[in-house]
Chains A and B, each alone.
Chain A
């Protein structure tokens, strides 16, 4: 009797594992949203598949936290060992669907001296921006003056688009993120 229930328990547990495995897909590249890059090209986020992606959400007219996020990202870029650099891309996604046009993003990229071979900036519809924030677990709201209050967050996506590491807050120690890239 005891053996029987153990067998059943194991079977149930195993079926559970199988059922979970079937649905287990945490890649954010499942999102079907379409984005415009700073060069004006229409792309999906899955165009980043295959690289480690260091991703943050900002807006270019932001005077508070965003320049600090970009500064943190640049620091990460410098800290990546030379032989791993080609495996990593940097992505900035704008909250500001109205003001941040592709041209504006391009201007921002050059003002910030972001290497275009490694950095991409994206704009999308309000729905796409909201949905991306949802999968990243990031909070934001636009105030009546048009500015955005937002969580400060840096996400590392693995080459399949799964969230590997998230740093919350400014000036966080990037060590966990760098370790993940070195693996």
Chain B
């Protein structure tokens, strides 16, 4: 019975196929890099979860992987707020089962995806999907800005999949939770001369007016892999990393 439920949960979180393509690079190439790579970052085809992983799905995961229950997860991998809005190890509460899971660390998110033979999206994959081949670019920027500017409430965010999907058929990239990426720690290199942020301002980036892009990079760069937050969840991908 349990196995069946788990399979059903996995089935319900369908993935969509994202074709090979490119999106405008955030970082400017260095002089010695080939000019071909300029301004565009190539991304190979992959599949991605339609929606962020939900609380119900994460509950199935911790049932099957006890080492990721709140009382057992090790301090190398999670901070002291891990799953703090759950009532107990196996009780996320009645409300918000279809809401995105939050208060999970990068390690826990990675373990969840790996348990399904999947992985966290790379930052390039996530940004490529969010750029959506330039479709409704202004709308996206506006949505992102509106949401980034909204103060967080302490309750779980609304349910996934309620708003309109983007052109790839992917839901909720903005508006519910920020999402972990496999290489979020590539956002800034803090002591090099090619720093995109402090010191030499926006010298290293292609489009200094990409304000929401800056916000996402600087949010990612503020994270550590064991951190958890009430507005930080994830989704998984399948295919080349």
Contacts and interface: CB of A to CB of B under 8 A. Distances in A.
A135 B78 CA distance: 11
Contacts of B29: 143-145
Q: Counting chain B CB atoms within 10 Å of each CB, which of A24, A25, A28, A134 scores highest?
A: A134
Given A139-B186, A139-B188, A169-B191, 10 more contacts: A22-B72, A25-B76, A26-B76, A127-B241, A131-B110, A137-B224, A139-B185, A140-B185, A151-B190, A152-B191
Interface residues of A, number: 34
Contact of A20 (B27, B73, B80, B191): B80
B7 interface: no
Closest A-B pairs by Cβ, 4 of them:
A141-B186, A134-B225, A144-B37, A149-B189
Interface of B: 27, 29-30, 32-34, 37, 71-77, 80, 106-107, 110, 182-183, 185-192, 194, 221, 224-225, 241
A31 B32 CA distance: 36
Contacts of A23: 71-75
A95 to B, nearest CB: 11
Contacts of B27: 143
Q: Is the interface of A mostly helix, strand, loop or mixed?
A: mixed
Contacts of B76: 25-28, 30, 135
Given A130-B183, A149-B192, A150-B189, A143 B74 contact: no
Interface string A12-28: 00000001101111111
Contacts of B191: 151-152, 168-170
27 contacts: A20-B80, A22-B71, A25-B74, A25-B75, A25-B76, A26-B74, A26-B75, A26-B76, A27-B76, A30-B77, A127-B241, A130-B185, A133-B185, A134-B225, A135-B76, A139-B188, A139-B190, A140-B185, A143-B27, A143-B30, A144-B34, A145-B32, A145-B37, A149-B194, A151-B189, A151-B191, A152-B191
Contacts of A65: 192
A58 to B, nearest CB: 14
